[in-house]
Amino acid sequence: MANIEDYLLWRGDLTVTQAPFNRVDNLILSNLAYLIFKEIVPELNNEKQTFLSKITSLFKSDEASRMQYITIFDAIAAMNLATEGKDRIRVSQDIEMGIKLAKTKRFGNMKLMCYVDKYDESIETQFAAITILMEDNTAYIAFRGTDTSLIGWKEDFNMSFMDKVPAQELALLYLKDVAEIIKCSLRIGGHSKGGNLAVYSSLYAGKEIQDRIINIYNNDGPGFKSSILQTEEYKNIQNKIDTIIPQTSIIGMLLEHEEEYIVIRSNETLIMQHDPYSWEVLGPDFIKMQETTSSSKFIDTTLRNWLRDMDSEKREKFVDLLWEVLGATKVKTFSEMAESLFANAVKIGKKINNLDPDSKEVLSTALSMLIKSAKNTLLAELK
């Protein structure tokens, strides 16, 4: 079946003024945020510009906003000049997709600006965002999802016990800063963690910015702690949230969702359905399903019950220990982990064996609770 790459062939020759922006466009632009545009796209703070002299000529200036930007076409063409961070690109297919969309009439002339890319192990955060100006006089603010870095995934796990993680705070600041620079209507979106950041930033941006938001796209991103979903701030934006999940969603069903969500068909299985290239497209929209699969419901219930049975302190101890164990490998990304899988597995095993008794008990108890939760969910389904 068709996917977002096929969509480019079908709709790529029409601009957004000729064929209105849709959910598939949203996924494509949120996926664009996974590319590393450091020293290619003008950064949010242009006071200390470190732009490569080789591509300075590609910069253009919008007289109306006095902001520098670069078109998607020129940015993709310049990507071979940027090397920093390439090891954090999610999959090589993202680069191939970028090349394809840059050549289309629909996306090639869209303007990229206000790029931010922050990776900080000291505060356990991985955050990136980019603003895309479109021909229909609107902007799409795309927040990057989790990349291949261990720190990025650690921050995701931190969401299970923290009221807010650094990436969420950075997303809010980013939205407020960009909204000050550009005065048009906004669409906010992201894939995976990026979808969570899109909702979080919109949640606390204030009424003036919220009134300018057309849609908030959460593409298979995790939800929030239930306390956040009961706030007035959340209720103010709930009807603008467009949550899209594949039929066997795992990542997108983590934590809580109060809004209705759209279930769409994927040609992959289980966790691989998180891959945006597996989402099936028909015309200007995704192929919809009536509900999630039994596998998704089973995993969702199991994880919810597991987290419910652990208080925040226990979750924090488990997550910190898990990453302490993974840290024995000295790798920075899961790609590096996979390159020497056996050797890294040995290092992890040795680290676990050398843990003190209390730490071993924390890991053992958490994993036992997960197995118990899965067993109870299965028994409940069989009744």
Burial zone of 308 (CB within 10 Å; 0-12 exposed, 13-18 middle, 19+ buried): exposed
109/226 same-domain check: yes
23/51 same-domain check: yes
- Residue 365's domain comprises 300-382
235/212 same-domain check: yes
196/266 same-domain check: yes
Which of 292, 320, 339 lies at the terminal end of a domain, its last residue?
A: 292
Angle at 154 between CA 86 and CA 23, to 5 degrees: 65
Would you place residue 54 in the very low, low, confident or very high pLDDT band (cuts 50, 70, 90)?
very low
- pLDDT tens for 275-300 read 999 999 999 999 999 888 887 778 77
368/351 same-domain check: yes
- pLDDT tens for 146-195 read 877 788 878 877 887 788 899 999 999 999 999 999 999 999 999 999 99
Would you place residue 58 in the very low, low, confident or very high pLDDT band (cuts 50, 70, 90)?
low
**How large is the average pLDDT for residues 302-307?**
78
52/175 same-domain check: yes
Rounded Cα–Cα distance for residues 4 and 282 (Å): 10
278/176 same-domain check: yes
Integer angstrom CA distances of residue 105 from 14, 140, 309: 6, 17, 52
Which of 229, 259, 292 lies at the terminal end of a domain, its last residue?
A: 292
58/166 same-domain check: yes
126/196 same-domain check: yes
Note the pLDDT of residue 56: 45
- pLDDT tens for 318-329 read 888 888 888 889
Q: How many domains does the chain have?
A: 2
**How large is the average pLDDT for residues 191-216?**
96
Contact 218, 188 (CB under 8 A): no
Note the pLDDT of residue 53: 38
Note the pLDDT of residue 50: 41
Rounded Cα–Cα distance for residues 23 and 216 (Å): 11
Single pTM value for the model: 0.86
284/326 same-domain check: no
26/173 same-domain check: yes
Specify the CATH number for the domain of residue 272: 3.40.50
Q: Give me the torsion for CA of 293, 3, 216, 66, rounded to 10°.
A: 160
- pLDDT tens for 66-108 read 468 999 999 999 886 444 455 666 777 898 999 999 999 999 9
221/342 same-domain check: no
